[in-house]
């Protein structure tokens, strides 16, 4: 699929079981793009009447699967976001609140959520009674004054509240539309959705320029039986989820249109294959072969790599170049220039000395040590077995990472994936510089380890300086999986401790002096508190006792850890801040501390 912002869902499924696919509210599945070790005729991907996608594989055993999903807009051809145009004047209080919020220069989606939240919190739910009927009758007769009257009475149902919210968002300069549908909570004996007038519902959608898609919000006052208030709260706070709202036909491509689009893409692919292979095609094919992935996956990774290498700091310098430049400086400083004694020299070699005239004069004057018969030459020596640094990462892939990042609007997991790829790739390029410059010595080795805090926690890269296609694809595909579960940071730190202990044991075998041991630095990244804060802090203490430095980054929140860095609002701020931190660790590898 040549679609922007696609994601890969992968996992395992037991034969004959039905698994719900965790898609966001406005995403779709390309049902023909599944990759699995099961026979294709046994695979069934379907959408039930609730609008949820499911996977079933008919057979015995456990099967692996991988498929792509994408925002609905990305599979539409020429689809446009139709804004709702609603007449009527807002109350003065609501207008003033919008002006106040706009002065804060909030990101557009943050502004939209604050406006919708303000409306929801200042109204009382009222529906199905004489007041509600009277309110809508008043709207048909006096649309210009409807919203002012509603704000005075502080009563509204889902349709009225969200209609006013769309009008308010338009006032704030945002693109919004009203959406009518159903809140499905009942099913019949066959599992089909039961829809009736009692579960009709209204909500709204706001167009997010950063993510290129419509984002659902709901300004319905509390108390509506057709609202999952927990999900509503998450949406208004920026913690997105799947929800249970119905979907209109024009939002998602029909099965016929989707199949037509797939046929078109296959035709484009066949045309491309008929063309002469370019150097980029050859690079993708070579990577795919070495990484044991598909050409499409290779293309996806190489594009991601190219993209993250362009992430820049505030001065416009690529972070990757910044790290490599600083590392090369450290390497150059570790090449120690010493005076090497050459001599004495035979008298008959005097003409080849640096100053043969002075040497002859000194000989005739019977100097004990004639000039030029000893000479000092400067020779560049490389200090061997000199320190180095091991960096251990704990990235967060818990369920909350599916939510949008505060600044970019992309999911936090997506932005973190780019950050992780940026640092893994940059640091492994530094490791290559060490091997290249150090020749056969152990000049400043650098290694990384990567763990993921998701479900029970796992290791994705054991401590290594290898960064070939296999390692690159394994690393990238792991970070591309759906975020889920909790944040078991204490478990990832235990995994880090295991590799740390093995490394120390190996260094002791080599009899490396304590003062020449590498630095060990753990970077812990999450979007909130770990599942077990006390156990995590205890692990911090254990690792620090063994000589490891730890920095805990809590993005979008405040950490109570004594090793916490300054709070960061967005994952997009992490590259520059973390690069500065790592460079400070580089600078601690000063030759003056080695005697």
Q: CA–CA separation, 71 vs 347, rounded Å?
A: 85
Owning domain of residue 347: 343-382
Same domain, 464 and 589: yes
Q: CA–CA separation, 307 vs 103, rounded Å?
A: 33
CA atoms within 13 A on the CB side of 544: 12
Residues 6 or more apart whose Cβ sits within 8 Å of residue 564: 552, 553, 554, 558
The pLDDT value given to residue 18? 79
Entry pTM: 0.50
DSSP type of residue 517? S
Q: CA–CA separation, 207 vs 212, rounded Å?
A: 7
Residue 137: exposure state from Cβ atoms within 10 A (0-12, 13-18, ≥19): exposed
CA neighbor of 374 nearest in space, from 338, 343, 339, 340: 343
Does 69 map to a domain? yes
Does 322 map to a domain? no
CA atoms within 13 A on the CB side of 185: 10
Same domain, 570 and 513: yes
Same domain, 108 and 218: yes
CA neighbor of 331 nearest in space, from 441, 240, 235: 441
Same domain, 20 and 113: no
Same domain, 374 and 393: no
Note whether 182 and 227 are within 8 A (CB).
no
Does 248 map to a domain? no
Same domain, 418 and 348: no
Domain boundary, last residue among 236, 269, 300: 236
The pLDDT value given to residue 272? 53
Same domain, 378 and 518: no
Does 516 map to a domain? yes
CA neighbor of 415 nearest in space, from 283, 553, 542: 553
Note whether 488 and 531 are within 8 A (CB).
yes
Note whether 329 and 321 are within 8 A (CB).
no
Residues 6 or more apart whose Cβ sits within 8 Å of residue 250: none
CA neighbor of 149 nearest in space, from 245, 140, 105, 509: 140
Does 257 map to a domain? no
Q: How far is CA 545 from the centre of its chain?
A: 31
553 - beta bridge partners?
525
Does 277 map to a domain? no
Same domain, 130 and 226: yes
Neighbours of 74 (CB within 10 A): 18
Same domain, 480 and 369: no
CA neighbor of 581 nearest in space, from 313, 387, 335, 315: 313
- Would you call 182 helix, strand, or coil by DSSP? strand
Q: What angle do CA 328, 333, 339 make, to 5 degrees?
A: 140
Neighbours of 365 (CB within 10 A): 8
SS3 per-residue string spanning 108-144: HHHHHHHHHHHHHHCCEECCCCHHHHHHHHHHHHCHH
The pLDDT value given to residue 120? 94
Same domain, 569 and 586: yes
Domain boundary, last residue among 354, 382, 410: 382
Same domain, 431 and 573: yes
Neighbours of 481 (CB within 10 A): 18
CA neighbor of 591 nearest in space, from 280, 365, 381: 381
Domain boundary, last residue among 19, 41, 75: 75
Specify the CATH number for the domain of residue 113: 3.10.620
Note whether 295 and 273 are within 8 A (CB).
no
> How many domains does one find in the chain?
4
Q: CA–CA separation, 222 vs 448, rounded Å?
A: 49
Count of residues in the chain: 595
Same domain, 38 and 185: no
The dihedral formed by the CA atoms of 524, 529, 533 and 539, expressed in degrees to the nearest 10:
0
Angle between helices 130-141 and 146-153 (to 10 degrees): 150
DSSP type of residue 593? G
Note if the bond before 276 is cis, omega within 30 degrees.
no
- Would you call 557 helix, strand, or coil by DSSP? coil
Q: CA–CA separation, 166 vs 174, rounded Å?
A: 9
Mean pLDDT by 10 residues, the chain (595 residues): 54 78 68 78 74 79 78 46 80 93 85 93 79 63 82 88 92 88 62 58 82 81 83 75 32 46 58 60 81 86 91 90 87 57 40 50 54 46 65 94 89 93 92 72 82 88 89 90 89 96 90 85 93 94 95 91 92 94 86 43
């Amino acid at each position: 699929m040549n679609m922007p912002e696609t994601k890969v869902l992968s996992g395992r499924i037991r034969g004959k079981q039905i698994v719900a696919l965790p898609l966001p509210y406005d995403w779709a599945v390309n049902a023909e793009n599944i990759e699995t070790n099961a026979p294709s005729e046994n695979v069934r991907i379907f959408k039930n009447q609730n609008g949820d996608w499911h996977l079933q594989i008919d057979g015995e055993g456990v099967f692996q699967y991988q498929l792509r999903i994408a925002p609905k807009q990305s599979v539409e051809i020429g689809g446009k976001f139709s804004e709702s145009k609603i007449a009527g004047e807002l109350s003065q209080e609501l207008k003033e609140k919008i002006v106040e919020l706009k002065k804060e220069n909030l990101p557009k989606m943050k502004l939209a959520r604050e406006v919708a939240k303000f409306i929801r919190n200042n109204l009382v739910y009222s529906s199905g009674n004489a007041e509600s009927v009277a309110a809508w009758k008043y709207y048909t007769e006096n649309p210009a004054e409807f919203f002012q009257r509603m704000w005075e009475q502080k009563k509204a149902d889902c349709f009225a509240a969200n209609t006013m919210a769309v009008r308010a968002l338009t006032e704030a300069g945002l693109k919004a539309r009203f959406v009518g549908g159903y809140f499905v909570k009942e099913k019949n004996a066959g599992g089909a959705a039961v829809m009736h007038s009692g579960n009709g519902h209204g909500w709204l959608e706001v167009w997010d320029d950063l993510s290129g898609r419509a984002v659902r919000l709901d300004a319905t006052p509390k108390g509506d039986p057709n609202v999952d208030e927990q999900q509503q709260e998450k949406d208004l706070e920026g913690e997105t989820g799947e929800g249970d709202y119905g979907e209109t036909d024009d939002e998602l491509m029909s099965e016929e249109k989707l199949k037509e689009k797939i046929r078109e893409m296959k035709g484009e692919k066949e045309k491309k294959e008929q063309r002469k292979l370019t150097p980029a095609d050859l690079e993708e094919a070579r990577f795919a072969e070495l990484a044991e992935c598909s050409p499409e996956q290779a293309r996806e990774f190489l594009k991601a790599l190219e993209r993250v290498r362009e992430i820049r700091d505030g001065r416009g310098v690529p972070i990757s170049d910044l790290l490599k430049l600083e590392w090369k400086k450290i390497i150059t400083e570790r090449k120690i220039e010493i005076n090497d004694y050459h001599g004495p020299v035979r008298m008959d070699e005097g003409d080849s000395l640096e100053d043969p005239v002075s040497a002859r004069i000194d000989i005739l004057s019977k100097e004990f040590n004639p000039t030029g018969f000893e000479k000092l030459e400067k020779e560049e020596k490389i200090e061997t077995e000199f320190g180095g640094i091991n960096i251990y990462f704990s990235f967060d892939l818990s369920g909350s990472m599916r939510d949008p990042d505060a600044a970019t609007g992309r999911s936090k997991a997506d932005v973190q994936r780019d950050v992780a790829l940026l640092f893994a790739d940059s640091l492994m390029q530094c490791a290559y510089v060490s091997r290249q410059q150090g020749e056969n010595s152990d000049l400043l080795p650098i290694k990384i380890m990567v763990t993921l805090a998701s479900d029970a926690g796992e290791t994705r890269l054991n401590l290594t300086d290898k960064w070939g296609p296999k390692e690159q694809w394994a690393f990238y595909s792991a970070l591309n999986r759906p975020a889920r579960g909790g944040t078991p940071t204490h478990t990832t730190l235990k995994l880090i401790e295991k590799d740390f202990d093995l490394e120390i044991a190996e260094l002791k075998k080599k009899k490396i002096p304590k003062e020449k041991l590498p630095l060990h630095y753990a970077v812990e990244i999450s979007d909130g508190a770990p599942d077990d804060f006390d156990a995590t802090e205890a692990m911090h203490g254990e690792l620090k006792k063994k000589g490891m430095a730890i920095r805990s980054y809590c993005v979008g929140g405040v950490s109570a850890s004594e090793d916490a860095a300054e709070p960061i609002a967005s994952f997009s701020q992490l590259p520059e801040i973390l690069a500065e931190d790592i460079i400070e660790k580089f600078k601690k590898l000063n030759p003056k501390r080695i005697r």
